[in-house]
Structure 1
Amino acid sequence: MSNAHGLEERRRALREGALVQAMPELGTLIVTGSDRQTWLNGLVTCDLAPQKPLPAGAKAAPPAGGAYGLNVGKTGKIFAEVWIVIAADRIYVGALRERVEQLRELFDRHLIMEDAEVQDASGEHAWAFVHGPRSADLAAAGRAAGAEAAIVDWTGLGGALLVAPRQAEGAVLEALLAEGEARAVLPVTAAAWEVLRVENNVPRFGVDFDDQNFPQEASIEDRAVSFSKGCYLGQETVFMLQARGHAKKRLVQLAVEGEGGVPAGAEIALPDGAAVGAVTSQVEDPRGTGLLALGYVKYKHAVQGTALRVAGRAAEITRAPRAGDGPGRAKV
């Protein structure tokens, strides 16, 4: 699957079918108790507000929902990405394993009088992501095989989150992949996804952003942050940065001319040589010679089509956050 032919098949699956990605790097927190949803909603950037009660006689929707979001500190900087599946009697929170214990401790510190309990169940549960337009179909297949699932498009490619008891992991993955290549449903390894995520402008925690970044710097606020929900930890800074200021830098995708890679952290500069940022990820450009890269540039240059240089090679911004902040607003 590491060859170009295998990647092209998986590009097609992203366009027409679905990719199934096992996620052993995720740990699991389970939140229970009658206040679990409203309490957790105050600790993440995504909106988990419970739905309003249904009118008498109305048919209930399937109980599972979910979201992709962030836990941010009081300063508004990202502590952890979270993938959330809401089941009938509990909430599953997926996070990178190296963050799970600290995240559990943080959650516990914010339990006061609420009826909620947080348990680390990383050893008992497994996660899988589905990417692509057929994600909803695969979520239904995963549920039938014993997983909890939610339709969550956190990449802009279409998506679903699945979490299952460890003993059901094999059966769930088998069910997800049952339709196979004929229906453009394929597995994707971590190495292949690394290429595809850069091609599709999907940043990665620990590589393209970390706990020193605001959501807006990582250019994930549209995917991970609700600006209409109620209060949550770190909301004031994140909201004010969006409403009254702008991030000093933004993560963008660039096409870089020339053969071969560039050094890790390669400088991004204006045509006159003035440094404006640095590369965080790079892969070969599938359209021909050159690279596709993710990297930070200063806010005022983060515009699609901007001509730049990367390690002395001609480059151009191919994807940038949507406009709307407007020049002249205060930097935060």
Structure 2
Amino acid sequence: MITIEELDPTSVDAGVAAHYGDPAREQRTLAGSVGLVDRGNRGVLAITGPDRLGWLHSITTQHLSALAPMTGTELLVLSPHGHVEHHAAVADDGTTTWLDTEPGRAPALLDFLQRMRFLMRVEPADVTADWAILSLVGPDTTRALSALGVGPLAAPSVVAVPGPKFAAGSVPARSTSQYALAALPSGGLVRRMPYGADLLVPRASVPTLMESVDVPLAGLWAFEAIRVASGRPRLGFDTDHKTLPAEAGWLGAAVHLEKGCYRGQETIARVHNLGRPPRRLVLLHLDGITTDELPAVGTPVVSAEGRPVGVIGTAVRHYELGLVALALVKQNVPADAVLRVGESTAAIDPSPFAG
């Protein structure tokens, strides 16, 4: 019998399993083989109409006008000052562009899209009630997809971010990240991702799929631990109202630096040309000695002298790394700085991310 622990009903992530009895084992499964994670609390929008790709190209950070059918990517919606307001993963099947976004954020994203329609032939709709996201995570994802009747999919392709003041033409006229799609024989889509694959499936079929798939189930705690160690930010968890794409590491996957004008584009260009965004996303190791409680999102990061230098994002218990957290810290904080988070001493991981 599988023991399922649900997340706190007050959590943004409520509605999916935290774990299935052994969070550490589930993390090891995702890191070393493959597991299936229910991420059905994510919001899902469906956009139809012949103008959908050109329209999204004009109002988001991603190059979408030439997106081929059965291809996925990522995009951001920025404020006029270049701060990140929305992040979405994209899947286009040739007739519909699907956007999946953080739990609870689909209505706000839909409201923005509705206000930007003007005379374009597009029909955006919130279909969260009917469609859900499940994720296969781990190095054996291809094997798991084969068991679902999906052939090998091309590995994700992400364009390298050019240096400051790069020459025109350095970024190809395509989406900066490209994720291969395939149809699921049982209905829905598969999108290959850097961490595995996302399954976009009719919500009514989720229980049957989760029971029939021949891989272990893993809860969101395990997914989050792997995500944090890999340095992948979540909007609203590892970002705040003033986060710039370059601070969170989204320039590679979600921002095209040579496409036409869009809201916030001037800030993107200015920050990139200066070469030093005000903050950077880092992985912090927490000592776990004075307390083993995870710091809450928004907890200040302070220097040894007590000076605020950053803010905590997602904190997790990692099966190998112990207590770790993503944090946005000021650009001038040295990599070897001794920091404090609440009662804990903290240190910046010396590698870009533990992966």
Q: What TM-score, normalized by structure 1, do the two folds share?
A: 0.77
Alignment of 1:62-101 (within 5 A): 63-101=69-107
Question: Paired residue for 2:309, among 271, 276, 289?
Answer: 276
State the partner residue of 1:109: 115
Question: Paired residue for 2:247, among 209, 217, 220?
Answer: 217
Alignment of 1:116-135 (within 5 A): 116-135=122-141
State the partner residue of 2:54: 38
Classify the secondary structure of the residue corresponding to 1:13: helix
State the partner residue of 2:10: none
Q: Are 1:159 and 2:191 matched, yes or no?
A: no
Q: 1:22 to 1:319 in 2, by over 3 A?
A: farther
Give the distance between the partners of 2:92 and 2:126, measured in 1 at CA: 16
State the partner residue of 1:10: 26
Q: 1:126 to 1:228 in 2, by over 3 A?
A: same
State the partner residue of 2:188: 147
Classify the secondary structure of the residue corresponding to 2:206: helix
Q: Once superposed, what is the RMSD of the aligned Cα atoms?
A: 3.1
Greater fraction helix? 1
Q: Are 1:301 and 2:333 matched, yes or no?
A: yes
Deviations 1:271-298 (A, max 9, x none): 444332232332335447x621222221
State the partner residue of 1:23: 39
Q: Are 1:255 and 2:279 matched, yes or no?
A: no
Q: How many residues align?
A: 299
Q: What TM-score, normalized by structure 2, do the two folds share?
A: 0.72
CA deviation after TM superposition for structure 1 residue 254, in Å: 1.0
Deviations 1:72-118 (A, max 9, x none): 22221111221111113111111234222221221122223332221
**Contact kept in structure 1, 2:19 and 2:220, CA below 8 Å:** no
**Contact kept in structure 2, 1:146 and 1:172, CA below 8 Å:** no
**Contact kept in structure 2, 1:35 and 1:116, CA below 8 Å:** yes
Unaligned runs of 5+ in 1: 53-62, 181-185, 323-332
Q: 1:148 to 1:287 in 2, by over 3 A?
A: closer
Q: 1:251 to 1:90 in 2, by over 3 A?
A: same
Classify the secondary structure of the residue corresponding to 1:217: helix
Give the distance between the partners of 2:31 and 2:187, measured in 1 at CA: 27
**Contact kept in structure 2, 1:47 and 1:67, CA below 8 Å:** no
Give the distance between the partners of 1:132 and 1:191, measured in 2 at CA: 15
Q: 1:147 to 1:192 in 2, by over 3 A?
A: same
Unaligned runs of 5+ in 2: 4-17, 151-183
Question: Paired residue for 2:346, among 308, 315, 320?
Answer: 315
Provide runs of 4+ in structure 1 moved above 6 Å. 1-5
Give the distance between the partners of 1:251 and 1:270, measured in 2 at CA: 16
